[in-house]
C-alpha cells in the first residue's frame, strides 16, 4: 500500500516527530502550569533557621538587610522571594506571574518553563515552514479564496513565533546574568539590590549562572 511505501522511504518519520513534539509541548505546558513554582510555606521557617549560612555567601549584599515578613500571608520571605497577589502566595526566586499559564514562574518551575518555550519555538518554526511551503502566490481573487486559511495560519504562526522567540531570548539573557524579570524591572524598589555595592550581586559569571540554574 501507499502507507507502507511511505514508511519504507522514511516519509512518515518527520510527521511522527512533529506530533511527538506537539505532545511534548502540551505536556510541558500542563506540568509548568500545575506544579508548585516554589511557594513559601509557614512550616519551612524553622528549616530556614537551621539551614542559615549553608547557602551561597554573597558579600556584596549589606549584612544589615533583614528578611521581612510578608504583609499578606505573614511568612518570613527568603531572599529573592515575592508575594504574588494572584496566586496568594510568596514565591521563591519569583520571576513573574504568567497569565497564559495561570501560574507563577519561580524557583521550581523556571527551568521547565525555559524547556517549554524551547520546544514550543521548535514546533512553531516547523509549523511555519510547513505552512510557507504550501503557499504559492498568485495575484487573483480565486487564489486568495483557496489559500486564505493557509495564509492566516502562517501569519498567526509568525506572530506567535516572534513572541516566543523574544520571551526565550530575554529569559536566557536574564538567566545568564543570574537575575529575574521582577529584579530586572524593579531594581530600584528591592532593598537587597538598592543597597548593594554592585548592580547585580548574584552574578557569578555566565557559565556558573547557567550551570546553577539548569543543574
Helices (H), 70-140: 110-133
Sign (positive or negative) of CA dihedral 201, 204, 209, 215? negative
pTM of the full structure: 0.82
- Position with higher pLDDT, 163 vs 15: 163
For residues 35 and 116, is the Cβ–Cβ distance under 8 A?
no
Residues counted in the chain: 215
Instruction: Cite the active site residues.
Output: 98
pLDDT tens digits along 120-137: 999 999 998 888 776 666
Centre a 10 Å sphere on the Cβ of residue 95 and count the other Cβ atoms it contains: 26
pLDDT tens digits along 58-115: 545 555 566 778 888 888 888 899 999 999 999 999 999 999 999 999 999 999 999 9
Tell whether the model's pLDDT for residue 143 goes beyond 80: no
Q: Which of 153, 73, 56 lies closest to 84, judged by CA?
A: 73
Tell me the average pLDDT across 18-32.
Answer: 96
pLDDT tens digits along 147-181: 778 788 889 999 999 999 999 999 999 999 999 99
Contacts 24+ apart (CB under 8 A), 121-130: 121/161, 121/164, 121/165, 121/168, 122/21, 123/18, 123/21, 123/22, 123/25, 124/157, 124/160, 124/161, 124/164, 125/161, 126/18, 126/21, 127/18, 127/157, 128/154, 128/157, 128/158, 128/161
- Distances in Å between the Cα of 133 and the Cα atoms of 130, 150, 160, 193 are 5, 10, 18, 50
Contacts 24+ apart (CB under 8 A), 17-24: 18/123, 18/126, 18/127, 21/119, 21/122, 21/123, 21/126, 22/123, 24/119
Q: 57 falls in which pLDDT band (50, 70, 90)?
A: very low
Amino acid at each position: 500500500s501507499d502507507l507502507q511505501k511511505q514508511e519504507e522511504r522514511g516519509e512518515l518519520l518527520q510527521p511522527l516527530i512533529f506530533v511527538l513534539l506537539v505532545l511534548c509541548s502540551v505536556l510541558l505546558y500542563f506540568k509548568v502550569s500545575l506544579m508548585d513554582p516554589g511557594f513559601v510555606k509557614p512550616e519551612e521557617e524553622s528549616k530556614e533557621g537551621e539551614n542559615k549560612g549553608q547557602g551561597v555567601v554573597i558579600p556584596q549584599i549589606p549584612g544589615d538587610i533583614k528578611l521581612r515578613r510578608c504583609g499578606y500571608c505573614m511568612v518570613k520571605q527568603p531572599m529573592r522571594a515575592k508575594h504574588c497577589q494572584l496566586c496568594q502566595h510568596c514565591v521563591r526566586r519569583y520571576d513573574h506571574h504568567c497569565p497564559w499559564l495561570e501560574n507563577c514562574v519561580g524557583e521550581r518551575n523556571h527551568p521547565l518553563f525555559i524547556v517549554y518555550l524551547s520546544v514550543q519555538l521548535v514546533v512553531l518554526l516547523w509549523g511555519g515552514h510547513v505552512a510557507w511551503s504550501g503557499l504559492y502566490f498568485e495575484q487573483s481573487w480565486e487564489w486568495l479564496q483557496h489559500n486564505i486559511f493557509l495564509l492566516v495560519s502562517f501569519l498567526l504562526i509568525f506572530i506567535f513565533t516572534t513572541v516566543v522567540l523574544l520571551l526565550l531570548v530575554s529569559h536566557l539573557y536574564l538567566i545568564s546574568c543570574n537575575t529575574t524579570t521582577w529584579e530586572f524591572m524593579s531594581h530600584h524598589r528591592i532593598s537587597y539590590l538598592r543597597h548593594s555595592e554592585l548592580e547585580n550581586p548574584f552574578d557569578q559569571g555566565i557559565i556558573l549562572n547557567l550551570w546553577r540554574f539548569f543543574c
